[in-house]
Every structure is written in structure tokens, then in C-alpha cells.
């Protein structure tokens, strides 16, 4: 076949025009492929940024709502029972009711920290540390007066 093309002027001309027509087609196809790939990538990126922003705003709103609820719950009169370590389980009943009413997935914890010192700032810090220690396992707890 190659020998026939070498001998025939018509075959050479046809091969030349075929190559001349295919070259711009291939170049334009590569250009359009690259530009459409870039445009598609940009649109996907915009969509992901938009979705991420919406999810972030929804999480932020949920956390703000939970914080507002926690602040309101902390001001309830029943929360004063924490000073007596909730002997009659009023706080536990209220919190379990709130968990069901608000359809919360996790648990609600109430801690009462205790600390004694002549300096009120030191006593507050010890009480805060004591409350945080109650979250830890019993063998990991540190006594607030030994800090």
C-alpha cells in the first residue's frame, strides 16, 4: 500500500489533504477538551465550596442552639439541687426529659466541682479541675487539694 501511495500522485494528494484536515481537527479537539475540563473542574469546585459552606452554617447553627439550651438549662431552679448532689434525682429526671424532648443523640452531664482555698481564684480553679476530673476514669482522678 505504501508503494502505491509513493507512485500515485492522486494518492499522495489525498493523503496530504486528509492529514491537512485531520491536524486542525485534532488540535481543536485537544483545545476544547482542555478548556471544558477546566470549566468542569471549576464548577465542581464551586459546588463543593457552596455545599461546604451550607454544612458549616448548619453545624454552627446547631452548636449555637445547643449552647443556648445549655445556658438556659443551667439557669433552671432544679439545677440548684447539684449542691446537694441531686439526692432525689430531680436533675437526672429533668435532663432525661430534655434529652427526649430535644431528641439529643448523646448524653447530658452535670458536674459539681469542689475546691477549698483561702484565695477565691485558687478555690475556683480547684473546683473547676475537680469537675473536669469527674469526667475521667476513677483511677485517673486527682484530688483537687493535692494540685
Q: What is the pLDDT of residues 87-136, one digit of tens each?
A: 788 888 888 888 888 888 877 777 777 777 777 788 878 887 887 777 77
Higher per-residue confidence, 113 vs 147: 113
pLDDT at 79: 80
pLDDT tens, residue by residue, 60-95: 998 998 889 888 888 888 887 777 777 788 888 888
pLDDT at 142: 58
Same domain, 99 and 139: no
What CA–CA distances, in Å, run from 71 to 33, 47, 68, 74, 132? 57, 36, 5, 5, 18
pLDDT tens, residue by residue, 23-49: 888 899 999 998 899 999 999 999 999
pLDDT at 145: 58
Structural domain range at position 52 = 1-75
pLDDT at 45: 95
Same domain, 119 and 102: no
Same domain, 65 and 1: yes
Same domain, 59 and 95: no
Same domain, 70 and 84: no
- DSSP per position, 28-68: HHHHHHHHHHHHHHHHHHHHHHHHHHHHHHHHHHHHHHHHH
Same domain, 33 and 102: no
pLDDT at 11: 75
Task: Kindly report each contact of residues 127-136 with a partner whose C-beta sits within 8 Å and lies 24 or more positions away, as own/partner.
Answer: 135/109, 135/111
Domain count across the chain: 3
Same domain, 58 and 126: no
Same domain, 48 and 118: no
pLDDT at 4: 65
Same domain, 20 and 88: no
pLDDT at 103: 83
Amino acid at each position: 500500500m505504501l508503494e502505491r501511495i509513493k507512485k500515485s500522485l492522486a494518492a499522495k494528494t489525498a493523503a496530504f489533504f486528509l492529514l491537512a484536515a485531520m491536524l486542525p481537527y485534532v488540535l481543536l479537539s485537544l483545545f476544547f477538551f482542555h478548556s471544558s475540563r477546566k470549566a468542569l473542574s471549576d464548577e465542581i469546585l464551586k459546588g463543593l465550596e457552596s455545599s461546604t459552606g451550607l454544612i458549616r452554617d448548619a453545624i454552627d447553627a446547631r452548636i449555637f442552639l445547643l449552647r443556648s439550651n445549655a445556658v438556659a438549662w443551667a439557669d433552671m431552679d432544679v439545677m440548684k439541687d447539684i449542691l446537694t448532689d441531686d439526692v432525689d434525682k430531680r436533675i437526672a429526671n429533668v435532663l432525661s426529659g430534655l434529652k427526649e424532648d430535644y431528641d439529643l443523640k448523646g448524653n447530658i452531664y452535670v458536674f459539681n466541682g469542689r475546691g477549698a482555698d483561702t484565695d477565691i481564684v485558687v478555690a475556683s480553679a480547684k473546683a473547676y479541675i475537680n469537675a473536669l476530673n469527674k469526667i475521667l476514669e476513677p483511677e485517673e482522678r486527682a484530688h483537687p487539694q493535692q494540685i
